[in-house]
Amino acid sequence: MAKKYLIFGATGSIGSALSEQLYEDKADCHLVSKSEDEVKKLANKLSYTYSVCDVLELNFTKKLLEDLASTEILGIAYCIGSINLKPFRLTKSKDFVSTYVLNLVAAADIIREFQSNLTLNNGSVVLFSTVAAKKGFTNHSIISPAKAGVEGLTVSLAAELAPKIRVNCIAPSLTKSKMSQILLKNTKSEESIAKLHPLKRIGKGADAASVAKFLLSNDSSWITGQIIGVDGGRSSIG
């Protein structure tokens, strides 16, 4: 039976970097994305299997379970997120609900479905939050509470699923990606945001991916329930 890491959001900045890094380590993965053309291209490049799946669709885990019926899961990285920034007075209830479902509920559904499988291999789960979950920023009233919920889910599941499954969370600051292009629309904007970080640059997908790879591996076998900032120092000294 094949043993694989399950990467959600595999075509995003962090997910694709993580897939590449695991390939370099000769690890086998199953990639999941809602973008069929992109995930197929990446999977073919790395000789990985893949599923086309939108986690906002009802019963989305059914297809995954079918695709992975004969696979043992070594770990799960839920590299899915969203950027929905607007003044609080312009927000709608549906903004909060959809963001909560995408960032937290779908992740919980996935972990629940694969809990037994993960237990067989002393598996690891890596979730993603944001520096904005703890550090207040304007226009972040939608995403910040959803990601704070992800951090709460992390510590709760780490306690409940130990010692068989480890659960950790990475909290990046702004990272270059298709989602963040609206904030990094020109060189001046990028330089201004970079200056807010003690390390004076914007994050790259590979930055958080490297930490995720470590947390998925047995090298982190005594680490669980942690929220790890990969944020250029923004959360603590920025």
pTM of the model: 0.95
Q: Give a yes or no: residue 195 inside a domain.
A: no
CATH of the domain at 7: 3.40.50.720
What is the per-residue pLDDT for 180? Answer: 65
Q: What is the pLDDT along the chain (238 residues), one digit of tens a residue?
A: 789 999 999 999 999 999 999 999 999 999 999 999 999 999 999 999 999 999 999 999 999 999 999 999 999 999 999 988 999 999 999 999 999 999 999 999 999 999 999 999 999 999 999 999 998 889 999 999 999 999 999 999 999 999 999 999 999 998 877 766 666 777 777 888 888 778 888 889 999 999 999 999 999 999 999 999 999 898 888 6
What is the per-residue pLDDT for 188? Answer: 76
Q: Give a yes or no: residue 113 inside a domain.
A: yes
Per the structure, the complete domain to which residue 82 belongs is given by 2-175+204-233
Q: If you count them, how many residues does the chain have?
A: 238
**CA–CA dist 227, 208 (Å, integer):** 12
Rg (CA), the chain: 17
What is the per-residue pLDDT for 1? Answer: 72
What is the per-residue pLDDT for 78? Answer: 98
What is the per-residue pLDDT for 238? Answer: 64
Q: Give a yes or no: residue 75 inside a domain.
A: yes
Q: Give a yes or no: residue 185 inside a domain.
A: no
What is the per-residue pLDDT for 202? Answer: 84
- Coil, strand or helix: which one is 150? helix
When divided into structural domains, the chain yields a total of 1
Task: Please check whether residue 146 is in contact with residue 100, taking contact to mean a CB–CB distance below 8 angstroms.
Answer: yes
Token pair listed for 24: 């370099």
Q: Give a yes or no: residue 51 inside a domain.
A: yes
CA 208 to centroid of chain Cα atoms: 9
Mean pLDDT over the full length of the chain? 94
Token pair listed for 137: 């920023």
3-state helix, strand, coil in the chain (%, to 5): 50, 20, 35
